[in-house]
Amino acid sequence: MEARINGHTQLFGLFGSPVGHSGSPVMYNYTFASLGIDAAYLAFDVQIDQLPAVIQAVRTLNIGGFNVTMPCKTAIAQYLDELSPAAKLIGACNTVVVKNGKLEGNNTDGIGFVRNLQENGADVKGKKIVLLGAGGAATAIACQTALDGAASVAVFNRKDEFYANAEKTTEKIKAAGLDCQVTVSDLANDDVLKAAIASADILVNATKVGMKPLDEQTLVKKEYFRKDLIVADTVYNPKETLMIKEAKEAGCELAVGGIGMLLWQGVAAFKLFTGKDMPHEEVFKKFFA
Ligand code: NAD
């Protein structure tokens, strides 16, 4: 890589903490090199209280754009000049682009989720969605699917510190005047969940259940699945969660894991950074398969 870095190379980055485990630098640098883009991508371990200095550095050093990860995804929004409609609604950004000196915040998590379904032949427009979860991923999915024309999003979460989050998101979607009915229910009401799934088109898990070390757990009883229910997980470790495995066993025609969402949110961020299409098949084979 050293050979292609020169006096004009544009810097992109990742801000958050921890970032040492992130696969983003290797994926972006590979893609820059393979497309002949004169840019480099580095990860910087920063905390929320350092964000004002980080923003100053981005402006001073003319950094081209950056991704944001935990714990900075929500806090970053207040320091930016503009927010995309999704970032505004979600209240968090994972991709910031610098356009004519202005910092524009975007959120590609929900975009990645919707694209992953589309790539598997399913659209969210007009669909009734049951969404398990009220954290960062679930909020992005609720907002993006509402923006993309879902008929309804029924959110279910346990009564923990995330529950109020879902209520707030519901209010924001209503206030935005989107034609999508959003409700929030306690996950403990299994009869309510069963009825919601029975009339839904798409069921999504955006909780940590299914992810290691909760990989032997699922929030959905196998008898709730039916052939024409689309089932999607955000969890990508393991690649096939217990929920997805059971959905397939129950005959669901489409049951997709979270790895595609991860790929497509990166593809969307790359497009925002460079205006170019990431060679997604090659990148998937090399870094995600
Ligand atoms: P978060 O910490 O913001 O939210 C956690 C959510 O999980 C909350 O809704 C919480 O109530 C719920 N939860 C946790 N333990 C639970 C349990 N035992 N029973 C029921 N609910 C429980 O996390 P996040 O960033 O929103 O991530 C949620 C999941 O989405 C993770 O598994 C993560 O890997 C996945 N994710 C995937 C992608 C992707 O690109 N595929 C992107 C972001 C997150």
Burial 234-250 (b: 16+ CB within 10 A, else e): bbbebebbbbbbbbeeb
Residue 265 CA: nearest ligand 1 atom is 40
Q: What is the mean pLDDT of residues 254-276?
A: 97
Alpha-carbon gap, residue 93 to 155, rounded angstroms:
21
Q: Is 286 assigned a catalytic role?
A: no
Distance, in Å, from the CA atom of 170 to the CA atom of 206, rounded to the nearest integer, reads 16
Contact predicate 188/156, CB 8 Å: no
203 alpha carbon to ligand 1 midpoint, in Å? 15
Query: Residue 4's pLDDT is what?
Result: 83
Q: What per-residue confidence (pLDDT) applies to 2?
A: 53
Q: What is the mean pLDDT of residues 17-35?
A: 96
pLDDT tens-digit series, residues 111-125: 999 999 999 999 999
Q: Which residue's CA is the closest to the ligand 1 atom numbered 23?
A: 135
Residue 67 has pLDDT above 60, yes or no: yes
| Catalytically annotated residue among 73, 127, 128, 172 | 73
Q: Is the CB of 261 under 6 A from ligand 1?
A: yes
Residue nearest to atom 27 of ligand 1 (CA): 137
Q: Let me know: does 166 contact 134? Beta carbons within 8 Å.
A: yes
Alpha-carbon torsion 197, 138, 133, 163, what sign?
negative
CA distance 178 to 266: 26
Q: List the residue whose alpha carbon is closest to atom 44 of ligand 1.
A: 137
Does the bond joining 18 to the residue before it have cis omega, within 30 degrees of 0?
yes
State the pLDDT confidence band at 289, using cuts at 50, 70 and 90.
confident
Question: How far is it, in rounded angstroms, from Cα 239 to Cα 211?
Answer: 9
What per-residue confidence (pLDDT) applies to 110?
98
Question: Does the beta carbon of 110 lie inside 6 Å of ligand 1?
Answer: no
Name the maximum alpha-carbon separation found in the chain: 63
Mean pLDDT over 247-270 rounds to 97
User: Does any ligand 1 atom lie closer than 6 A to the CB of residue 112?
Assistant: yes
Ligand 1 pocket member 265 (CB < 6 A): yes
Write down how long the chain is: 289
Residue with CA at minimum distance from ligand 1 atom 37: 234
H, E, C per residue of 73-128: CCHHHHHCCEECHHHHHHCCCCEEEEECCEEEEECCHHHHHHHHHHHCCCCCCCCE
The per-residue pLDDT of the chain, averaged, comes to 96
Q: State the distance from the centre of ligand 1 to the C-alpha of 38, rounded, in angstroms.
A: 36
User: Which of 137, 117, 58 lies closest to 257 in space, CA to CA?
Assistant: 117
41, containing H or E segment: strand 39-45
End-to-end CA gap in the chain: 23
Answer whether 111 contacts ligand 1 (Cβ < 6 A): no
Ligand 1 pocket member 114 (CB < 6 A): no
Answer whether 134 contacts ligand 1 (Cβ < 6 A).
yes
